[in-house]
Amino acid sequence: MSIVYSKSKWGHFTAKLMQSSITYAILIKKTQPLKKKLQRCNLVFYRNDFDLHRAKIDQDLDIFADELNAFQSGSGEQYNSLELMLSDKINTWKLKSIQKIQEDAEEARQQVQTLIALNNGKTTSCVHKITQELKQDRQNHGFDERDLNKWKKKRDELKLNVSKSDLYIDEQQSENDFITNLLAKEKESFERVCGPVSIKENVQLASHNFNIFPISGEFVAEDNIILENSYQSNSSYGWAGHNEVYTNGKCSKKVNGYTSDYSKGDVIELTLDCDHHLIRMTNIRSTKSYEINVDLKGCPFPWMLHLNLFHHQTRIRVNLLRVSRKQ
């Protein structure tokens, strides 16, 4: 048997085995390096390069897994630190809020004690006065049924004042929506009248009965004797009709540009600035505001509001809005 090799143009070798009359043909493929494409990647590597690349990816994956575990541990510590910091802020806010509430509560409690003591003092003074009158008249035998009825009436008035006290607690919204400021107050009311004026609606409404004259309002010293025309008092400060302004009971025209521009239903805001010894009046409708400086020598504290009602059916309602001092 003989073998004859020949090379074709396609790079294959042909071997012919000559034995008898049988011919065998063997095709031998030319040896080349194996190529492989990496899945999910457009790169094509030779076999050796592919193995190296695969090993590098596995190594990078291990490094990333270690970094991820380290990040997870570190992030937990960071969140714990953040929680502690925020909790400290909350605790600080809580303590400050509790302290502020305690301070406001103590201030309101002191206001209550002061108002109670003041009202109790007034009641005690009135009872003492009646007792002195009783004692004196009993010694002199100078009383009759009329005096007894008068004293009983005063006693009943005192009992009514005690049983229906004007003291109350006012909750005012503070800068914090969920915290309210507590203020102990006494309802402002018209205390005394002189002339044709009646007091109505729990002594918070004053109404003129007859006569037609301008209206005026002023502040006078509390110990000043009530007069029908209190604007003539030497301690009076305030505003009136016809563009008139009163200081120390003296009338002047258009002081500080004042004009008596009033209409039915107007809301007049009166501010007593005791720190700066001045009074301020603002007409909410017209937004006009006027001020008067008060001389404490002529009008010492405490002050009392006097209203002179001259127009027929004039009605004035008092509504107190107390402004707390800024700390």
Whether 244 maps to a domain, the answer reads yes
pLDDT tens, residue by residue, 253-263: 988 899 988 88
Percentage of the chain exceeding pLDDT 70: 64
Closest C-alpha among 287, 312, 34, 318 to residue 191: 318
pLDDT of residue 168: 77
pLDDT reading at 313 higher than 80: no
Same domain, 232 and 304: yes
Encoded tokens for 89? 């802020």
* Structural contact between residues 224 and 235, judged by C-beta atoms closer than 8 angstroms: yes
Whether 113 maps to a domain, the answer reads yes
Encoded tokens for 300? 């010492």
pLDDT of residue 203: 44
**Distance separating alpha carbons of residues 154 and 149, to the nearest angstrom:** 9
Handedness of CA 201, 202, 205, 210 (dihedral sign): positive
Whether 54 maps to a domain, the answer reads no
pLDDT tens, residue by residue, 98-139: 998 898 889 888 988 988 898 899 899 999 999 998 888 888
Whether 286 maps to a domain, the answer reads yes
Same domain, 240 and 142: no
Give the distance from CA 140 to its chain's centroid.
63
pLDDT tens, residue by residue, 138-190: 888 888 888 889 889 899 988 988 887 777 777 766 655 556 665 555 565 54
Identify the band that residue 211 occupies on the pLDDT scale cut at 50, 70 and 90. very low
Three-class DSSP category at 22: strand
pLDDT tens, residue by residue, 37-59: 555 555 565 666 777 877 888 88
Whether 86 maps to a domain, the answer reads no
Q: Of residues 320 and 235, which shows the higher confidence score? A: 235
Same domain, 312 and 206: yes
Give the distance from CA 114 to its chain's centroid.
26
Same domain, 253 and 134: no
**Domains identified in the chain, total number:** 3
* Structural contact between residues 298 and 234, judged by C-beta atoms closer than 8 angstroms: yes
pLDDT of residue 288: 92
Identify the domain containing residue 262 by its residue range: 188-317
* Structural contact between residues 128 and 77, judged by C-beta atoms closer than 8 angstroms: no
Whether 76 maps to a domain, the answer reads no
Query: What radius of gyration, in Å, describes the C-alpha atoms of the chain?
Result: 50
pLDDT tens, residue by residue, 188-198: 554 554 554 45
Q: Of residues 193 and 238, which shows the higher confidence score? A: 238
Give the distance from CA 213 to its chain's centroid.
43
- Of the three residues 136, 169, 202, the one that is the final residue of a domain is 169
**Distance separating alpha carbons of residues 186 and 161, to the nearest angstrom:** 12
What is the pTM for the complete model shown? 0.42
Three-class DSSP category at 178: coil
